[in-house]
Structure 1
């Protein structure tokens, strides 16, 4: 039922209905903020990312395709991409300053459930089952790339594995996830 309501609200948003967009915001902002906060780890930056994401959602609501996933999944990916852009931008600035090397890095590999970061409850069961079919290297690499926002090089450092292996794990893992989710 929630999925139908969110789909209706997004469809109306695509038609320029501000009241529908306001309702969509009310229904989804806490979950999207949780996604941003998980990636950025700073409340003010998370709020900024979510605000910018909602601007994109407003302007791109007509580009949503139901066959590619739920409304919330689509919106979360917009938030996630915005967060990753912010992280990359900050990393580039830090690299140019070259003063603080490694201060913002994540702790070494944490013993956490790879799906703890999922906020999208309607997608979690199927994605969780599909993630469990992956090899351990694929699981870790995908988790670090998509749920923690690390680059291939950062994943290489975190896992202590060669860059080619990390890229292969991500590519193969995503292919296997796609096949699993489509079945």
Structure 2
């Protein structure tokens, strides 16, 4: 959980002015959680560390582009990291040849691991904070789609496949859920 009273927006404004201490403060505050996001998407510790490194470079160089009218500073930082991780996986994913039997076993193991990670990461019943309350208000299937998209880094197509739900339905659920979350977070 974020430290109560930590001022992300002020840190980003200071980064935009060239304040290196502000970047260090952001790094100390969020690097472990950002590393967790990158690990869930990249599924590789070394790649995740590289992604977080690149994310902080991007945060530093693009801090002036942060617009508080479009969302929270903390959300922006996570968004930068998530997008870098997704782009890296789309553009630089390494292909590994495996047998069909190995692929099935790997997929089953990864699915179980991802489900456990999601459950552990999103034990939002035990947390306070408006986002957790807002997530609770979503229908379970819609909440699952949001978590897979924004925490696990799954594409809409991957979510549809994982849930056995039509792609259009998944897209509509995510779109409506984001609107509901924005209204709830108001």
Q: Do the two structures share a fold, i.e. TM-score over 0.5?
A: yes
**How far apart, in 2, do the equivalents of 1:44 and 1:109 lie?**
19
- Find 2:28's aligned residue among 26, 29, 44: 26
| CA displacement at 1:59 relative to structure 2 | 0.8
**How far apart, in 2, do the equivalents of 1:27 and 1:53 lie?**
14
In angstroms, what is the RMSD of aligned CA positions?
A: 2.9
Aligned residue in 1 for 2:6: 3
Aligned residue in 1 for 2:17: 15
**How far apart, in 2, do the equivalents of 1:111 and 1:9 lie?**
34
- Find 1:151's aligned residue among 145, 149, 155: 155
2:177 aligned with 1:173: yes
| CA displacement at 1:130 relative to structure 2 | 0.8
**How far apart, in 2, do the equivalents of 1:32 and 1:175 lie?**
24
| CA displacement at 1:10 relative to structure 2 | 2.4
Q: Normalised by the size of structure 2, how large is the TM-score?
A: 0.77
Richer in helix (by share): 2
Taking a change above 3 Å as real, the CA distance of residues 124 and 47 of structure 1, as seen in their structure-2 partners, is farther
Task: List gaps (5 residues or longer) in structure 2.
Answer: none
Contact 1:3 1:71 in 2 (8 A): no
Taking a change above 3 Å as real, the CA distance of residues 108 and 90 of structure 1, as seen in their structure-2 partners, is farther
| CA displacement at 1:82 relative to structure 2 | 0.8
Taking a change above 3 Å as real, the CA distance of residues 149 and 66 of structure 1, as seen in their structure-2 partners, is same
Contact 1:9 1:23 in 2 (8 A): yes
- Find 2:60's aligned residue among 55, 58, 61: 58
- Tell which deviates more after alignment, 79-88 or 18-27: 18-27
Q: How many residues align?
A: 173
2:132 aligned with 1:128: yes
Q: Normalised by the size of structure 1, how large is the TM-score?
A: 0.78
CA displacement 1:4-35 (0-9 Å, x = unmatched):
3x433322211112333233323332232222
Task: List gaps (5 residues or longer) in structure 1.
Answer: none
